[in-house]
Amino acid sequence: MFDFTGKTVLVTGASGALGTTLSARFARAGANTVVAARTGADELAATLDGTALGVRLDVTDEQQWADAIARTEERFGPVDVLINNAAYLRVGTTESISLDEFRQVLDTNLTGALLGIRTAAPSMRKAGGGAIVNINSVAGLTAAPGLVAYSSSKWALRGLMRAAAKELARDHIRVNSVHPGIIGTPLAHAPDGSEIVPVGGFAIPRQADPDEIADFVLFAASDRARFATGSEILADGGFLLGPVA
């Protein structure tokens, strides 16, 4: 369906449920896939089809970003696609969340994406352009009580995406975001296995499969979306419509 043959794609947060799916999908589509994660990157790269490289990356660390891009260029050449997928979630209200937890969430979800864009952009210029896709959330489009840090980071990520899209447009670098609804990953469940956000009352009354969300991400990263930049692609199963009466 998608062809990334000859393209070099870097996926952050690659060892998580969605990151693993994205890495596998890009690899199957022919990409030189760079799987970046704090742990397990080499092991994941070894399981993928085609050519893959594992790099250790804490997205909050500027030097690790520089090292990751350098290793990518040494192995494959310039970066064509960056998927800012790494995310951190802490439950807490505006009054209950600690300041340290709030900062940790913003550091990963917002600052991590900023560092990715600013480090990958010079590499993309060498390639003549590229595509950046930020994995956002419905929490960046509506109120998310009890997830104040996560929601704040995702709303701010929208501003980062739009600013970067305008700044990088003349370099033929597109910047877009995908806003998934509730995905069937560990992040969507409490320690007892219950859904943090029950979805049975919504238009599509189930959680998304990671592979369904990957379809939207690969589209945004591909030349099929070549006329889109600064765009927010919603894939929420009707979540924002509210519960069906």
User: Domain with 68 in it: what CATH number?
Assistant: 3.40.50.720
Q: Is residue 64 part of a domain?
A: yes
Q: Is residue 3 part of a domain?
A: no
What is the per-residue pLDDT for 7? 98
What is the per-residue pLDDT for 192? 86
Domain containing 164: what range?
8-241
Among all chains, which residue has been given the structure tokens 């560990």? Answer: 186
Question: What span, in angstroms and rounded, lies between the C-alpha atoms of 173 and 167?
Answer: 9
Q: Is residue 2 part of a domain?
A: no
Active site residue 88: no
Q: Name the pTM for this structure.
A: 0.96
Q: What is the number of domains present in the chain? A: 1
Q: Is residue 1 part of a domain?
A: no
What is the per-residue pLDDT for 190? 76
What is the per-residue pLDDT for 1? 81
Residue among 150, 155, 219, 239 flagged as catalytic: 150
CA geometry: angle 58, 63, 65, nearest 5 deg: 55
Question: What span, in angstroms and rounded, lies between the C-alpha atoms of 76 and 33?
Answer: 9
What is the per-residue pLDDT for 132? 99
Q: Which two tokens stand for residue 110?
A: 């917002």
Q: Is residue 180 part of a domain?
A: yes
Question: What span, in angstroms and rounded, lies between the C-alpha atoms of 126 and 112?
Answer: 22
Phi, psi (5° rounding) for residue 208? -75, 145
Residues of the chain with pLDDT under 50: none
Q: Encode pLDDT of 7-53 as tens digits.
A: 999 999 999 999 999 999 999 999 999 999 999 999 999 999 778 99
Cβ pair 82, 121 in contact under 8 A? no
